[in-house]
């Protein structure tokens, strides 16, 4: 995931981070808002948001969807890790969606859509790179939320990292053809627009 990247003005950026605590408990965050808790098999709980009073505070559906992706993936990892006897101490995730919001706001000829989702998973583990790749592949196969995004053909880059490393041990691009990713194309477009 590219930090501090600049995108065209019509691209809405949403980010969610998660932290897994106990075996099947995941808490999701986005800046300045109450957390969202997933706890299998109990379900999930949305923290009480501040009084709205027209200021659009609280979780948006896009943030909740990213949290659902991260929460479901985190829970699937816990199950797959148990099945594979894969040891890890902590899992952190970061998800970012890039959505063309022009159709939502003013251009009636455009359908708002995800341009790309970046989903990074950081594992605190001593397992080998080969074992991390095995965990990743089986998680991608089993996770209903990852399957939902895959079937919807939403462009997504899923990167698996060892905690503290900036190089992925495993990366999968879903719904992305050859050449530049949609994110890379958006960055180039933004640079061109800014240089005019």
The secondary structure element, H or E, covering residue 49 is: none
User: What was the pLDDT predicted at 21?
Assistant: 59
Q: In Å, how far from its chain's centre is CA 176?
A: 16
**Residue at 169 is within a domain:** yes
User: What was the pLDDT predicted at 8?
Assistant: 84
Q: What is the CATH number of the domain that holds 158?
A: 3.30.300.20
Using alpha carbons, select from 67, 28, 24, 29 the residue that is nearest to residue 42: 24
**Residue at 52 is within a domain:** no
User: What was the pLDDT predicted at 136?
Assistant: 98
pTM for this entry? 0.77
**Residue at 146 is within a domain:** yes
User: What was the pLDDT predicted at 148?
Assistant: 94
Tracing tokens 């719904």 back to the chain, one arrives at 175
**Residue at 156 is within a domain:** yes
End-to-end CA distance of the chain: 27
**Which residues of the chain fall below pLDDT 70?**
21-26, 30, 32-60
Separation between Cα atoms, residue 193 and residue 47, nearest integer Å: 40
Domain that holds residue 33: 11-47+58-195
CB count within 10 Å of CB 52 equals: 9
Separation between Cα atoms, residue 49 and residue 57, nearest integer Å: 7
User: What was the pLDDT predicted at 35?
Assistant: 67
pLDDT in tens, 137-193: 999 999 999 999 999 999 999 999 999 999 999 999 999 999 999 999 999 999 999
Distances (CA, A) of 175 to 25, 114, 116, 139, 178: 29, 11, 9, 17, 10
**Residue at 23 is within a domain:** yes
Using alpha carbons, select from 76, 83, 70, 94 the residue that is nearest to residue 141: 76
**Residue at 5 is within a domain:** no
Q: Total structural domains in the chain?
A: 1
**Residue at 143 is within a domain:** yes
């Amino acid at each position: 995931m590219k930090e501090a990247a600049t995108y065209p003005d019509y691209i809405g950026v949403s980010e969610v981070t998660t932290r897994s605590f106990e075996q099947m408990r995941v808490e999701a965050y986005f800046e300045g808002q109450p957390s969202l808790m997933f706890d299998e098999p109990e379900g999930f709980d949305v923290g009480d948001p501040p009084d709205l009073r027209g200021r659009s505070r609280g979780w948006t559906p896009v943030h909740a969807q990213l949290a659902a992706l991260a929460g479901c993936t985190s829970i699937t990892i816990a199950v797959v890790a148990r099945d594979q006897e894969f040891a890890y101490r902590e899992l952190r995730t970061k998800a970012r969606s890039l959505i063309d919001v022009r159709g939502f706001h003013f251009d009636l000829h455009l359908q708002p859509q995800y341009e790309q989702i970046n989903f990074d998973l950081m594992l605190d583990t001593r397992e080998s790179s080969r074992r991390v790749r095995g965990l990743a592949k089986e998680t991608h196969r089993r996770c209903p939320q990852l399957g939902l995004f895959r079937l919807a053909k939403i462009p997504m880059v899923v990167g698996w990292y060892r905690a503290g490393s900036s190089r992925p041990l495993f990366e999968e691009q879903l719904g992305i053809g050859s050449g530049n990713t949609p994110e890379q194309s958006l960055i180039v477009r933004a640079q061109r627009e800014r240089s005019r």
